[in-house]
Chain A
Amino acid sequence: MSEAALSLANDPGREVASSAIGTVPVTLTINGQEHRLAVEPWVTLLDLLRERLHLTGSKKGCDHGQCGACTVLIDGRRMNSCLKLAVTLDGSEITTIEGLGQPGNLHPLQAAFLEHDAFQCGYCTPGQICSGVGLIAEGHARTRDDVREQMSGNLCRCGAYTNIADAILEVLGTEDRE
């Protein structure tokens, strides 16, 4: 059992809530580490990550799948973690921004975001980067227009869109950079 799961079991608040209602066992591999957890069926993956596992890199921007700030990779595919109930993900492999790279050991897309100033406040950034990694893995984006279209599920209120497209195109290795 991971440390995070242990701390969860020791959380007095969770005991109060779960003793009356019951929890469902679920095993998730998050950033390469296996977590055996007992969660109530209505807990979203996003709230599990942020509130219980203290992986706050994934952001809550709307809680309704409208903004993309909570995007993580589930079995390699980009998903809005606010729309996923944790109990439906038993056996899944989840990669969050914390798992992509760390300070001093950045993922190429994290490095490209930094270099292209592809963010300002930084709040949508983890979702943008996870979405960008998912987009590159999907292999459908060839041009700048493709990238712009396929990144449109991730809102950025600071308006860093052109720099986000530049960063993704750099990692994608295409010439269509305008």
Chain B
Amino acid sequence: MPDTRHEPIRVGIGTPLNRVDGEAKVTGQAQYAAEYPAAGLLHGVIVSGRIARGRITGIDETAARSVPGVVEVLTHRNRPHTPWLDRNYKDELSIPGDPFRPLESEEIQFSGQPVALVLAETFEAARFAASLIDVSYEAAPHNIDFEASLAEKFLPSKKRNSYHEPKNHGDADAAFDKAELRHEARYHLAVEHHNPMEMHATTVDWHGDGTLTVYDKNQGSQGVQSYLCNIFGFSKKELRVVNAYVGGAFGSGLRPQYQVYLAVMAAKHMQRSVRVVMTRQQMFTHAHRPEAVYTVKLGAEPTGKLTAILGDATTSTSRFEDNMEDVVIWGMINYDSPNMKGEYSIAPRDTYTSADMRAPGAATGMTIFEIAMDELAYKAGVDPLEFRMINYSDIDAMYRTPFTSKALREAYREGAAAFGWDRRSPEPRSMREGRELIGWGMATGLWNAEFVETSARARLTADGRLEVASATSDIGTGTYTVLALVAADTLGLRPERITVRIGDSDLPHSQVEGGSRAAASAGAAVQLACQAVGAKLLAAAAKVEGKPLGDARSLEDVTLTDGYMILRSDPSKAVSFADAMAASGLDVIEEEATAKPGLGDRISQMTKSRNVHSAVFAEVRVDEDLGQVRVTRIVNAVAAGRIINPKTARSQILGGVVMGMGMALHEETMGDPILGRWMNHNLAEYHIPVNADVHDIEVIFVDEPDPEVTPLGAKGVGEIGIISTAAAIANAIFHATGQRHRNLPITIDRLIAT
């Protein structure tokens, strides 16, 4: 019998649980892609091209090949054969265009493009030899200047499948022209690079029997597996991809990066294990958040009620792929206005293709829209929070559909109360302490709540240990811990009895981990698999002598606690998992299940909007003479449905806020238009927030029960934290200084130049 003297400690959904992978991480035992040993390992160092566009006319490898320890130099001239058709190179995101093929030909498409891979017995020999590769080029005219590229902007006919066309209403142009209150401005966001702390890296363990294990940094092992199999002709039985620990990604691992391609190509060519690790500089040669311009026009009645919303945005892409984001729809979804119109285009330039970076589109579009809203609030003479309440929409104002839930009002209220917003002095430059001007600003965040088909397996052994498994990933997001909590919740087991296995293409199917959907999707799959195990346990309990559980047939009839099934109608009747399994002669109960939107869910997905909301409040202190900005306080109140693990969810919001601070004040990849290259391609010159930049951040999760949005009622928290944090800061800077900045980041030079 279970110990009934004390209320059992029930750990489950909603318990703030320390990371179950935490001990491995704080002791250095967690292995990342570049850290797997392999016998006879070769080290590959990538040589990056110097020009932005043109062709390679010659490669002198003589000096490199003479370095002791160098075994091979792969270039477009001697690389192994690869398939012809583009379709073999499509990855899970399937961006329209011609996917980049490393070492394909002499053609150069962007600066930093890999032109050779040097393979040597030691890392140092490969690195030295790579420096000796002498490549000559014939340069062609190029352009990486975004403003210049706008002359070529267009809306692709074949759109990225994640793109949502803005839905227009009324006559926005006429309404804007007639409006008594008007705001129109053009905003700009700089290029940002993801810069996870771990560089993209791959270790290929060539087993010598025709099979290989690819330890790779990515956000989806099965997508990378498919990509590599399609190109290099392996079957999925032969090629396994493992991403058990991922040192951050923020979107840079959504698509396979070129080091995994080169590492597998080299391993197959050499029939040996190979490791390829990008340098930090090379981390600036692939994925990046697109540069953006966004013109916002808002018309309103004198009371501040919006009558017209117009948005026209352009984001950057490469010349070979058409990457698209949802930029202009967010303000249209969020605010009530009879007239609205959104336009969007992309502009090609000679860089690598832009990519999804934490909250792609919304981090750009909602942030900028919320700066525009702040501007109109001042014009209307209305408090910025009150201004948003005047224009609050209970339904999705663009699709005109109800939300499964929207507790944004509560987020505004709780965030404002925690921040002390009612003590704000409305006039800009009216708050000061010593030589610092103080400003308070706020903004609204909006993101999607996604749920995608995902499978999971649960395996209970007679010793009372449970293993749950799915091919989803943990890129710092807390997936391991969330899945442990869901399993603990479903089967009433303590987390220490549960092992979570993820990050391996051999495990049950999961899509790439992104869009804040892993917790809700993989969590639902784990819950289903555990429920199936529970049902088997209950059936097994019927064979226990005396049938203590009587006719209990449904899991509803019993409570699962600490390895026992306890009859709800008579808690003195219980059967242990072990006794039930023994009575039925079972050593193992193993069940696999797939969570996917059912028919009802699909109808609901068409008729209801699913979104997560936030209210961000920021305090800045600006040194009037030096232009130095300190973000001294942030309150971020988030309405994200049910929070599975408050501890890791809070950290997700903290991380998003910190990256939003970077967007507001620091992060800007600067190009040299003549060289066609990103110039500040290192962590000393590409500034991200450091510990001294980050003061007090308070995270609030408001109560938002929503059984409809996803099976667990969870909406996902990976991205909402960054959305509009930069707007709250920019708005606070205006409140502090009276300076309106429409060009992010607001660096010191921009502040003191105004």
Interface residues, chain A, CB within 8 Å of chain B?
A: 12-14, 16-17, 19-21, 40, 42-43, 47, 50-51, 54-64, 66-67, 69, 96-98, 100-104, 106, 110-111, 113-115, 117, 119-126, 129, 147-149, 151-165, 178
Contacts and interface: CB of A to CB of B under 8 A. Distances in A.
A101 B120 CA distance: 34
B690 A155 contact: yes
A103 B29 contact: yes
B152 interface: no
A14 to B, nearest CB: 7
A67 B199 contact: no
A61 B280 contact: yes
Contacts of A43: 124
Given A17-B124, A59-B247, A50 B35 contact: yes
B164 interface: no
B26 A120 contact: no
A129 B23 CA distance: 13
Interface in B517-533: none
Closest 7 CB pairs of A and B: A57-B28, A159-B658, A123-B247, A121-B476, A13-B121, A122-B25, A120-B476
Contact of A16 (B69, B248, B684): B69
B654 A159 contact: yes
A106 B26 contact: yes
A56 B688 CA distance: 25
27 contacts: A13-B40, A13-B69, A13-B121, A16-B68, A21-B68, A40-B124, A43-B124, A47-B124, A56-B31, A66-B280, A67-B280, A97-B26, A101-B26, A104-B23, A106-B26, A114-B19, A117-B18, A121-B196, A121-B198, A122-B30, A123-B32, A157-B195, A157-B250, A157-B688, A161-B658, A162-B654, A162-B697
Contacts of A119: 22, 25-26, 476
A121 B121 contact: no
Given A122-B21, A154-B691, A57 B121 contact: no
B654 A163 contact: yes
A121 B247 contact: yes
A102 B28 CA distance: 9
Interface in B704-744: none
Given A122-B247, A154-B691, A97 B32 contact: no
A97 B110 CA distance: 39
**Majority SS of interface residues in chain B?**
loop
- Chain A CB within 10 A, most for which of B122, B195, B650, B658: B122
A26 B280 CA distance: 29
A151 B656 CA distance: 20
Contacts of B650: 117
B394 to A, nearest CB: 33
A126 to B, nearest CB: 5
Contacts of B692: 148-149, 151-152
A71 B249 CA distance: 21
B548 interface: no
A69 B125 CA distance: 23
B476 A122 contact: yes
Contacts of A40: 124
B124 A162 contact: no
A136 to B, nearest CB: 15
Given A43-B124, A97-B26, 18 more contacts: A12-B40, A17-B121, A40-B124, A66-B280, A67-B683, A98-B28, A103-B23, A113-B22, A119-B22, A119-B476, A121-B198, A121-B248, A152-B692, A155-B688, A155-B690, A157-B197, A161-B690, A165-B691
Contact of B691 (A98, A117, A152): A152
B242 interface: no
Contact of A123 (B248, B280, B478): B248
A54 B280 CA distance: 22
A35 to B, nearest CB: 17
A114 B655 contact: no
B655 A158 contact: yes
A160 B683 contact: no
B631 to A, nearest CB: 12
Contacts of B146: none
B185 to A, nearest CB: 29
A164 B691 contact: yes
Given A123-B196, A155-B690, A157-B248, A97 B27 contact: yes
A20 B68 contact: yes
Nearest to B22: A114
Contacts of B29: 57, 98, 102-103
A153 B122 CA distance: 29
Contacts of B478: 120
A56 B247 CA distance: 13
B682 A66 contact: yes
A148 B632 CA distance: 13
A152 B684 CA distance: 12
A167 B198 CA distance: 22
A41 B656 CA distance: 42
B391 interface: no
B688 A125 contact: no
A69 B124 CA distance: 20
Contacts of A16: 68-69, 121
B69 A110 contact: no
A155 B248 CA distance: 12
A26 to B, nearest CB: 15
B647 A157 contact: no
Contacts of B658: 159, 161
B189 interface: no
Nearest to A51: B123
A117 B478 CA distance: 10
B37 interface: yes
B433 interface: no
Contacts of A151: 691-692
A28 to B, nearest CB: 17
A45 B559 CA distance: 55
Nearest to B37: A54
Given A122-B21, A122-B247, A155-B688, A102 B27 contact: yes
Contact of B23 (A61, A106, A158): A106
Contacts of A62: 280, 682-683
B125 A17 contact: yes
A56 B24 CA distance: 12
Contact of B27 (A19, A98, A148, A155): A98
Given A64-B280, A64-B684, A129-B26, A159 B655 contact: yes
A150 B25 CA distance: 22
Given A59-B247, A159-B689, A113 B26 contact: yes
B435 to A, nearest CB: 18
- Chain A CB within 10 A, most for which of B122, B277, B683, B691: B691
Contacts of A97: 26-28
Contact of B25 (A63, A125, A154): A125
Contacts of A178: 696
B245 interface: yes
A175 B554 CA distance: 52
A125 B18 CA distance: 15
